[in-house]
Amino acid sequence: MNDERMTVVMGLIMHGGNAKGQAYQAIQLAKEGKFDEADAAMALANQELKEAHDVQTDMLTKEAQGEHTEIDLYMVHGQDHLMNALTFRDMAIELIALMKRVAELEK
């Protein structure tokens, strides 16, 4: 695998993993009633997902321009990290919204 491809794969893995970690942190903060901090962690998760999406968009743009990307286990693994992070982020949004609603009802 060449350095450029490894950079793409590692970008997907790193940013996807960071996003999932921030979303997990946001859930933990929300469980403690720290909703402002949870929102800040979710903003960081969204920024990491944007970074991963930028890596993916660059790869797709090159593909559209005729520069084929070889699909191997590394690339599949990187894409898997990104998709799991997106799903986890979406679930975190829903969980935090529910926790906020419960907190409001308990007032």
Helix 35-64 vs helix 3-31: angle between axes, to the nearest 10 degrees?
160
33: left (phi over 0), alpha (psi -120 to 50) or beta: left
Spatial CA neighbour of 38 closest among 81, 83, 100 = 100
Selected catalytic residue, list 15, 53, 68, 77: 77
Active site residue 53: no
Q: Which two tokens stand for residue 47?
A: 């920024």
Spatial CA neighbour of 94 closest among 16, 26, 12 = 26
**Catalytic residue numbers, as ranges:** 77
